[in-house]
Chains A and B, each alone.
Chain A
Amino acid sequence: MSKALLYDATQCIGCKQCEQACATQNNLGYDDGIAAEEYQSAHKLTAVLTRGDKFMRRLCMNCQDPSCASVCPVGALKKTAMGPVTYDASKCMGCRYCMVACPFSVPKYEWGKLFPKVQKCVMCPDRVAQGKPTACAEACPTGATKFGERDELIAEARQRIRDNPGTYVDHIYGLEEVGGTSVFLLSSVPFESFGYRTDIAKDPLPMLTYRVLSHIPDFVPLGGMLLGGVWWITHRREEVAEAEAREASEKKNGGKR
């Protein structure tokens, strides 16, 4: 049911047609200058990196349990059942917590605009919903970027590593990172050499904050009761003291009345 992308760097020829297709799909400009940029930005949602004769793609990993969607106060970012992590600019208020929180530092911002949006690869949700592959996968001439069922792509990635001993680094990037993603990467050289962090947690990060947040509904009535109780006790003492003083003075005056 859930879709995913498998990028096999060993099949990539660095033609950057995925970049071109992505730009067209997202109504972004594309020219030689932008093609030369080796990083994602608000006007370039995927980038092909070149190191000698090795290539690597960078794009949003579309995590299974995305930090960005978890931290977004207005729910502008959402994980869909089909796989894409989508963004609704009309909800966004521009707090940029998604950019801070993303373990892959993917979301980018339109800093130059007066009414800026967050920009990131959203895995072509409209195309995916229509049963079509993402623009990048469709454009790829070698099949290095492959679109398909998530489970099947995982099996295929495992198969490729198994069938070609010595070709790949024994690591499907995105399978375990932050609890799994919807983009899987295979490479013949270490992922670190392309700036991918391999020290990323195996568990979804949103649990780190939700563990704390989930205590709030319990804390509020408890805290209220506790504070109210303390107030009651500290002021009760005073009332008692006052009442006693009043009684004492009444007793004194009592006989004379």
Chain B
Amino acid sequence: MMARPLFRFTFWKLVFLFLMAGGVYATFIRFTQGLGASTNLNDQFPWGIWISFDVLCGVMLAAGGFTLTAAVHILNVKRLHSIIRPTILTAFLGYILVCAALMYDLGKPYNIWHPLIMRNPHSVMFEVAYCVMLYTTVLALEFSPIVLERFNLQKPLKVVRAILIPLVICGVILSTLHQSSLGTLYLIVPEKLHPFWYSPLLPAFFFLSAIAVGLAMTIFESSLSSKHFGLQLELPVLQELGRVLVVVLGVYGILRFEDLANRGALKLAFHAGYETYLFWLEILLAIILPLVLLMQRRVRSSANGLYISAVLVVLGFITNRMNVSITGFEGSTGVRYFPKWSELAVTGMIIGVGFAAFGLAVKYLPIFPKQELAVEKASESSGVAVGAVMEHAGD
């Protein structure tokens, strides 16, 4: 019994230390020698993995925050209340990490505040900058009761609770705007982006897939948390999310293929080629497999079935974001892009920090309901599982 957690402790701690070491070294190179030395970016390929994964995927993976707050506070779905705190935590951490990643990617990160005073309302990037900034603030406020409760600060707690509903509404609107706007970013490159991915509906696709991923991430992190913190799994709640996920994926899939057919791009999907393979990989992972799985009651009612489906959806839409921002450009630029080790190292470090921060937050803050925390405390007292918990909590 003791041997396994002990092994885990060492393994995940090693992984974490490895990621941190690589990340710190890459950070050093980035901020002493510049983007050229630390990335494989060039004039043909100005946006790489720090935009594709850290920003586009990062924002998408944090979409559970607005999806779930809308369901609980606006639609009044009470059953979901028990998983709202970990979801807000994930979203809040996610957005902080997105901002951190931007500091690496921006050529002149010390000018990151410029959009505050130098406004160009015609720029999608300007809108995204504002929304992300405001939404991170909203998330901080939505997250604040957890901290305030921990330190028993009743007065500010009262204030935050009083403005909770307007906050949630702001959060949902801001998320709708910038989740879709990350797709709008690419509307201006009709000649450069491959027809599999360029579509006038990009904003709608990005928004719908953000909802799907928000749901999938909630299932994913609830499953992981239940495993590693020894919590009771809220299976009926997750089944509910699974059902909604089927609908969202179905709508997304139909829209996607209607759009491909209408633009005459569908026939391209049957010509062998680099883009075609990655297109089908994305469709298979994000739409077909999870739909096939989740439409079966047997899968939906099993914790593992839900977990696997959620992981597929997340991987599928990560593939989608990478395709839109990298694969789709390789044809028109005539250049293949693969990230340099230092780009991967920074991304790895950011993921590692996310997992660790989640673990620490769960340990020190009232993230999960009290009776469940008791179980966690028990395992903590053994003093061994904590490390595993720290590094392996669902981000």
* Chain A 65-104 near chain B by CB (<8 Å), digits 1 or 0: 0010011111110000000000000011111110111010
Flag whether B125 is at the interface (Cβ < 8 A).
Answer: yes
Residue of A with least CB distance to B174: A220
Q: Please give the distance in Å from A147's CB to the nearest CB on chain B.
A: 27
Q: Which one of B121, B123, B189 has the highest number of Cβ atoms from chain A below 10 Å of its Cβ?
A: B123
Q: Is the CB of B188 within 8 A of A213?
A: no
**Residues in A whose Cβ lies below 8 Å from that of B185:** 97, 209
Complex Cα distance A67/B191, Å? 13
Residue of A with least CB distance to B172: A227
How many residues does chain A have at the interface if contact means C-beta atoms less than 8 Å apart? 55
Residue of B with least CB distance to A41: B43
Residue of A with least CB distance to B70: A227
Flag whether A240 is at the interface (Cβ < 8 A).
Answer: no
Q: Please give the distance in Å from B68's CB to the nearest CB on chain A.
A: 14
Q: Is the CB of B124 within 8 A of A213?
A: yes
Flag whether A224 is at the interface (Cβ < 8 A).
Answer: yes
Query: Contacts A94-B106, A97-B185, A227-B169: A108 and B125 contacting too (C-beta < 8 A)?
Result: no
Complex Cα distance A200/B107, Å? 29
Q: Please give the distance in Å from A214's CB to the nearest CB on chain B.
A: 9
Q: Is the CB of B122 within 8 A of A70?
A: yes
Flag whether A167 is at the interface (Cβ < 8 A).
Answer: no
Q: Which residues in chain A, 187-225, are within 8 Å of chain B measured between CB atoms? A: 197, 199-201, 205-206, 208-210, 212-213, 216, 219-220, 223-224
Complex Cα distance A199/B190, Å? 10
Q: Which residues in chain B, 77-119, are within 8 Å of chain A measured between CB atoms? A: 105-109, 111-112, 114-115, 118-119
Stretch at the interface among A110-118, A123-131, A134-142, A150-158: A110-118
Q: Is the CB of A234 within 8 A of B76?
A: yes
Q: Is the CB of A234 within 8 A of B74?
A: yes
Flag whether A132 is at the interface (Cβ < 8 A).
Answer: no
Complex Cα distance A100/B191, Å? 11
Main secondary structure of the interface of B (DSSP, over half): helix
Q: Please give the distance in Å from B173's CB to the nearest CB on chain A.
A: 5
Residue of A with least CB distance to B120: A75
Residue of A with least CB distance to B42: A111
Question: Which of A92, A112, A237 touches B34 (beta carbons < 8 Å)?
Answer: A112
Q: Is the CB of A111 within 8 A of B36?
A: yes
**Residues in B whose Cβ lies below 8 Å from that of A209:** 122, 124, 184-185, 187-188
**Residues in B whose Cβ lies below 8 Å from that of A199:** 191
Q: Is the CB of A72 within 8 A of B107?
A: no
Flag whether B361 is at the interface (Cβ < 8 A).
Answer: no
Q: Which residues in chain B, 31-50, are within 8 Å of chain A measured between CB atoms? A: 31-37, 41-44, 46-47
Residue of A with least CB distance to B177: A216
Flag whether A254 is at the interface (Cβ < 8 A).
Answer: no
Flag whether B299 is at the interface (Cβ < 8 A).
Answer: no
Residue of B with least CB distance to A216: B177
Q: Is the CB of A93 within 8 A of B114?
A: yes
Complex Cα distance A206/B189, Å? 10
**Residues in A whose Cβ lies below 8 Å from that of B152:** none
Complex Cα distance A20/B192, Å? 31
Question: Which of A112, A116, A212, A234 touches B203 (beta carbons < 8 Å)?
Answer: A212
**Residues in B whose Cβ lies below 8 Å from that of A109:** 35, 43, 46, 107
Chain B contacts to A: CB under 8 angstroms:
31-37, 41-44, 46-47, 70, 73-76, 105-109, 111-112, 114-115, 118-127, 129, 165, 169-170, 172-173, 176-177, 180-181, 184-185, 187-192, 200, 203, 333
10 contacts between A and B (CB under 8 A): A73-B114, A74-B120, A75-B120, A75-B123, A93-B107, A96-B46, A115-B108, A200-B191, A205-B189, A228-B165
Would you list the 8 A-B pairs with minimal beta carbon distance, nearest first? A94-B107, A111-B36, A93-B111, A234-B76, A73-B126, A74-B118, A99-B46, A73-B125
